[in-house]
Copies of this chain bind each other. A is one copy, B any other.
Amino acid sequence: MNDTIKSIATIMKDLDGILIFPHMNMDGDALGSSTALCLALRSLGKKAYVMINEPVPKNLDFLECGCTTNDDSVLDDVQLSVMVDCNGLDRIQGREEVWKRGRLKGCIDHHATKAKDMRYDFSRVEPKSAAAGEIIYNIIKALGVTIDLDMANAIFTAITTDTGNFQHSNTTSRSHEIAGHLYKIEGFNSKAISALIYDRRSKNAIRMESKVLENLNFYADGKLVVGRVTQDLLRECECTMDEADGIIQKMMSIDGVEGACLFKETDHSIRASLRGRSYANMEKAAAKYGGGGHMLAAGCSFYAPMPEVEELFIPELIEAVSRTR
């Protein structure tokens, strides 16, 4: 059962010494919504921190307002540990011990996946919210805090990144209504925030992406597209694998494509990232090789050289995209 926004705000008002836990491999929503909540709690005079154990991604560095810390002992007394944009200890790996220091535990998330064996003193999971940032926005309002520019930037980042700039199917009327309110906050400049998030790609990443997109292969009358990020390519372009994020979305923007597979070669394995547009069951294809995910976004790993993997797996993918609607 979900606790109400109001009851969560009431609990938080009475507490001091709060640690906020965004999920590992933090993204715009995890860090944006955690930061917004931290700033709101601090505006009430409370001690609050966003507890992380990895560097803030470069494109989100502008969210740094002195909120994040990796110091386990930053607070003497942790009255509350709260997960934001995640639910479960496996999503805050390496921070489990400091999480346990919270006398109360809370969870604010929008992922439908239920955490096993987690007990919270309060929790609110809204799978229909496009971003955890939307829930945090409502909690901040319920706390009686006036949203300032830093909070607005953090909430906008959360919503715009998790909705794919208001284009993904998770976007709702409320996503736009909240964004519309943020524009009314003095100094708010969505263009500047968007430029910080999106317009700081490295030359090398652009070149690497271009080389992948230039060498795509098509199967099943163009319904399946396959690309590859090899270790050789990463070396040639002086890139790391995380800079390949976003390539599969570009592959999916090609006319007639129903399914995409991006093979990512690591030292020991080949990871296949899979996407479907409408009917291709990519989860089924992935599950056959020990992987998983959702129907339209899945993945699996292989421990064999690329040619063997392709020979084995591409026929499966052709079958997945060839099924009649």
Q: What is A's interface to B at a CB cutoff of 8 Å? A: 160, 165-169, 171-177, 179-181, 183-184, 189-191, 194-195, 198-203, 206-207, 209-211, 213-214, 216, 218, 222, 250, 252-256, 277
Contacts and interface: CB of A to CB of B under 8 A. Distances in A.
Contacts of A213: 206-207, 209-210
A207 B214 contact: yes
B191 A255 contact: no
Contacts of A183: 171-173, 176
Given A199-B252, A203-B222, 19 more contacts: A160-B167, A165-B166, A167-B191, A167-B198, A168-B191, A172-B183, A173-B184, A174-B180, A176-B183, A198-B253, A200-B255, A200-B256, A201-B254, A202-B254, A206-B213, A206-B216, A209-B213, A210-B210, A210-B214
A83 to B, nearest CB: 28
Number of copies of this chain that the complex holds: 2
A179 B213 CA distance: 33
A214 B216 contact: no
A117 to B, nearest CB: 35
A207 B211 CA distance: 9
Contacts of A218: 203
A298 to B, nearest CB: 19
B201 A253 contact: yes
A206 B255 CA distance: 10
B166 A160 contact: yes
A206 B254 CA distance: 8
Nearest to A184: B173
Contact of A177 (B177, B198, B214): B177
B173 A194 contact: no
